[in-house]
Amino acid sequence: MKETSRAFYVFITLMFIIALWGGYNWVRIMFIDGVGITGSSDFVPWGVYIIGFVFFVGASAGASMIGLLIHGFGREDYKPLGTRAILVGFLSLMAAVLFLMSDVGNPFRAMLLPAVLRNTTSMLVYTSMTYAGFAALMLGELYYAVKITRRGGVGSHMQEKMAKVLAILALLFALMVVHAPHGALFAFITAREMWNTPLLPPHFVVVAIASGISIMILVTIITSKINKRELVSMSTLIHMGKLLSLFLIITLFLDFFDFLVMNYSGKPGGKEIWHLLTGRFATLFIINTAGMFVAMLILVFKWGRTIKGLFIASALTVIAIVAYRINLVVVAQTPPLFPGIGEVYYIPTVPEMAVVAGIIALALFLYIVLTKVLPMEETVPEISK
């Protein structure tokens, strides 16, 4: 095991305490006080748990992009990130499932999906079946990545082949089987104007990749800072920034036409959504759109070729995507479905936010501990031509 500092123990202790606090509030909501102590209601049944779910399931899919770059495109310079990316993806999926289980209610009942409780017409039943498959692919990929790392980065022919096959399958499975159907899960709900669009499944895929790449850039920079040595070369970081800028451009393109159609169609539901986005939720809307646009500009110009610029652009991207997920989940449910209901509001409570903090802290705790236990490739290889 690597040498540990005092700050390491302080950090994991803090994360453990926050996770326990979240677990205590989760027990209160699930078994003692009920959902009455949360901000959700009959009018807004989906809140911060679903926001966390869609963000982290997207991050898990996007992190798989690193494996594809290594094994599908032969980018040997990305190899030091291979194991970390798998770990980030797996723990993000774990967090997403915990958020989903927190939202659906009694966890023992949720565990019956889809083996016992199943409805073949429900997209939720279908998507719940995909998590086990995605988790199995990532665990298999992690197993072979660790085996290869322990052999000095060069595994046997079978190990290298299995790592390559699983890395490619993981990304394809994540985007096509796991994440695009999540966009469809929302898009199939015809009663909600903001969700009922065929652009949502591809939008989910593009945003997932952007979130995964931006998180991996942040992980790389922070890890290099803590370890006081480069995890990957500067040219590799710049390449990651270029990839992120590409997916940000595609996201902004989809957003533009989504909002254009919403306004130009003249439908009452679309006008109400636009009124909310530019009114009560204007701050989140600006953080989302302006954040992505500024991040894209930083990456396109010379700032995107510096550590500081890459860090700021990646952090802005993560914040912007969180704002987008909030708008997607909350704003879409705010227009009342029936006349005479009046204004609909959703404000998360302290117990709800404690559960959110607890799940995130648990994921961070496991990541920090596992990166100490598992072998991580942290040498800069020759950059592939």
**In this predicted structure, what is the pLDDT of residue 171?**
85
Lowest mean pLDDT among 28-32, 67-71, 230-234, 292-296: 67-71
Q: Is 12 a domain residue?
A: no
pTM of the predicted structure, to 2 decimals: 0.90
CA distance 302 to 259: 30
CA distance 57 to 146: 23
Task: Enter the tokens of residue 175.
Answer: 């985007």
Over the stretch 34-61, which tens digit does the pLDDT of each residue have? 888 998 888 888 899 999 999 999 999 8
Q: Is 27 a domain residue?
A: no
3-state helix, strand, coil in the chain (%, to 5): 75, 0, 25
Host domain of residue 312: 45-347
Q: Is 157 a domain residue?
A: yes
**In this predicted structure, what is the pLDDT of residue 208?**
92
With a pLDDT cut of 90, the percent of the chain lying above it is 46
Q: Is 217 a domain residue?
A: yes
pLDDT band of residue 191 (cuts 50, 70, 90) is confident
Handedness of CA 108, 64, 20, 25 (dihedral sign): negative
Query: How far does the chain reach from its first CA to its final CA, in angstroms?
Result: 34
| pLDDT top residue among 69 and 14 | 14
Q: Is 5 a domain residue?
A: no
CA distance 307 to 118: 48
* Top mean-pLDDT range of 1-10, 120-129, 161-170: 161-170
Instruction: Give me the CATH number covering residue 50.
Output: 1.20.1630.10
Cα 318 to the chain's mean position, in Å? 9
Q: Is 7 a domain residue?
A: no
Q: Is 372 a domain residue?
A: no
Taking Cα atoms as reference points, which of 89, 250, 110, 117 lies closest to residue 174? 89
- At 56, is the secondary structure helix, strand, or coil? helix
Amino acid symbol at 304: G
Q: How many separate domains does the chain show?
A: 1
Mean pLDDT for all residues in the chain: 87
Q: How far are the Cα atoms of 169, 260, 289 from residue 293, in angstroms, in the given order?
A: 32, 17, 6
pLDDT band of residue 307 (cuts 50, 70, 90) is very high
Handedness of CA 350, 44, 359, 317 (dihedral sign): negative
Q: Is 194 a domain residue?
A: yes
**In this predicted structure, what is the pLDDT of residue 343?**
74
